[in-house]
Structure 1
Amino acid sequence: MNERQSIPMRETLTIQMRQVFPPDTNHHGTLFGGKLMAYIDETASIAATKLARGPVVTASTDSVDFIRPIRVGDVVTIEAMVSYTGKSSMEIFLKITSENPLTRERSIAALSFLTFVALDENGKPTKIPAVIPETDEEKWLNETAIKRAEHRKVRKKESEDLANFFQKVK
């Protein structure tokens, strides 16, 4: 029997840092939500690729919760890690912090979960390694992932039903 390979979650850790400049902000002087979402997708993609060791695609943005505004001049740190794996899909957890580099005040600005799928050379879903949680945070993320996966399945079905409804309305 071919046993599934496993790797520690920490091996997928990806950290990106960016400073917020005026063109990155809205009329409130805070980072555009869409700009942050692009950073989130990019960082999650790198973490997913570290696990899959091949092409990946975003299957869904499961959640992006904006907690605190990110202001001009702040340094944004986006930390991503694969928190759970299925056969070809993986959940990526992201923690986004903002820091005022002058005062060193830091706070969690956003939290996010995305789902990615690994693809083979023909663009079809392919098997990926499992992740092994080691720290308490990693164990919590991994253990609570089943509930989030169930919620994703329900939400996806609802989206498919809605898409079918709109297709018929045409």
Structure 2
Amino acid sequence: MKSMKYKKITESQVEISELMLPSRSNFNGKIHGGYILSLLDQIAFACASKHSQVYCVTASVDTVDFLAPIEIGELVTMKASVNYVGKSSMVIGIRVESENIQTGLVKHCNSSYFTMVAKDDNGKSVKVPGLILENDQDVRRFVKSIKRLKMKIKRKTEFHETDFSSEEYMHLLDDYNVKFDIH
């Protein structure tokens, strides 16, 4: 493994394209979201491993926003970049576009953020190279990753609260489609 303290984002970017076949469709004739998730995990692994130059594992899928359906016969292109690095973790941002190869129409179908962790041969986390931010977009993506990380920590803390009282939160449910039957 080459020892490199910092890398440019462009050094680790990965792009893949695949024609969507009928065998990948769901019962509605659209490409199955689970198949797209599998491709997202593969490209996140490739991008993170390329950046760290070691084996990486998926720690979490922070966000997956399905924006538009993908049709059979469209050419799907996924573009992955390292948006953020910690000590051993990396946030990989992935943009998915599909192209109708008959009309040339391109649509943004999905955006997602995978947190990947670099591991050595014994399964221990290893330090990853830092990032060289070269433009406003690089800075924006890095800062947005920090914000998502802070929100994730807050959600995890709230999820594990043990001093929960439903009465304290009832007012938050006023605008939702719920009926109370608490005894």
TM surpasses 0.5: yes
**Which digits, 9 at most, give the CA deviation of each residue in 1:134-153, with x for residues without a partner?**
23322211122110111222
Name the counterpart of 2:171: none
Counterparts of 1:16-165 in structure 2, within 5 Å, are 16-157=16-157
SS at 1:144 equivalent = helix
- Per mean C-alpha deviation after superposition, the further-off stretch among 28-37 and 126-135 is 126-135
TM-score, with structure 1 as normaliser: 0.88
**Which digits, 9 at most, give the CA deviation of each residue in 1:115-136, with x for residues without a partner?**
0000122111110111122233
Cα RMSD (Å) of the superposition?
Answer: 1.7
Give 1:157 shift: 4.5
The residue identity in structure 2 corresponding to 1:139 is V
SS at 2:150 equivalent = helix
CA 1:158–1:24 in structure 2 vs 1: closer, same or farther (change >3 Å)? farther
Name the counterpart of 1:9: 9
Q: How many residues align?
A: 159
Structure 1 residue runs without a partner (length 5+): 163-170
CA distance in 2 between counterparts of 1:157 and 1:57 reads: 24
The residue identity in structure 2 corresponding to 1:91 is V
**Which digits, 9 at most, give the CA deviation of each residue in 1:23-53, with x for residues without a partner?**
1001221110000000000001000001110
Structure 2 residue runs without a partner (length 5+): 163-183
Q: Percentage identity across aligned positions? A: 35
- Structure with higher Rg: it is 2
